Amino acid sequence: MPDIVYSLEMIGIVAFAISGMMVARSKNMDPVGVFTIGFITALGGGTLRDLIMANHPVYWIKHEEQPILILAMAVVFSYWKHTERIRPSWIVFPDAIGLGTFSILGAQLALDLGHSWFIASLLGVMTGTFGGALRDTLCNEVPFIFRKDQIYASISFAGCWLYFLCQWALQSEALSLTIGLLFIVIVRMAAVRFDIRLQRDPM
């Protein structure tokens, strides 16, 4: 069980790091900029979560292999020409796994620390979305979370509540985690595929 959670977390970190590095490269940044944006995208959400919940040490300080992995990725990304072939559309699936894993694990940590469902769902959404919002702000784009043509944060929010409800109804942590995570990944993929939005007309 912890192994699966940890593997998913690593997939999420890699996916978020790649999404950050792709944006950084499209802005013509040098290798340091590529590493910095990748780092912030992948680890920003978890850092905010740990600071707000006073959960020290911050998780990438405890899991040193994560920033080392991101550093290695930045080197590959900056100097290996083949990575230019990565297309934005390839990122959607791992990005959805990142969103799902970070949201559910953030919410789970908040519950473990004794917070209520509502607070835990807010912290789950923050963990899942803050890194990407920072990436877009630093790269001077309108953050994803504020764009009308996408649903993103609301899927994370709904997935956290589904996880709480399953936990309460099923009494099985592993099953609830899986359901919440799958919900976020599948709905996010469907939203991108079928162009689902919260609001269609200008208000």
Binding residues for a copy of itself (CB under 8 A): 24-25, 27-33, 36-37, 47, 51-54, 56-58, 61, 64, 67-68, 78, 84, 115-116, 118-119, 122, 137-138, 140, 142-143, 145-148, 151-154, 157, 197-199, 202-203
Q: How far apart are the first and last CA of the chain?
A: 46
Compare residues 28 and 89 and give the one whose CB is closer to a copy of itself.
28
CB of 151 to a copy of itself, least distance (A): 8
Compare residues 29 and 91 and give the one whose CB is closer to a copy of itself.
29
Compare residues 8 and 160 and give the one whose CB is closer to a copy of itself.
160
CB of 36 to a copy of itself, least distance (A): 6
CB of 175 to a copy of itself, least distance (A): 27
Q: Which two tokens stand for residue 153?
A: 């944060």
Task: Tell me the CA distances in angstroms from 121 to 116, 137, 159, 191, one per residue in order.
Answer: 9, 23, 9, 21
Compare residues 6 and 197 and give the one whose CB is closer to a copy of itself.
197
CB of 141 to a copy of itself, least distance (A): 10
CA dist 112 and 90 (Å) reads 34
Q: Are 67 and 60 in contact (CB under 8 A)?
A: yes
Where are the extended beta strands (E) located within the chain? none
The residue type of 150 is Q
CB of 64 to a copy of itself, least distance (A): 6
CA dist 106 and 77 (Å) reads 28
Compare residues 4 and 68 and give the one whose CB is closer to a copy of itself.
68
Nearest CA to 104 out of 185, 45, 180 is that of 180
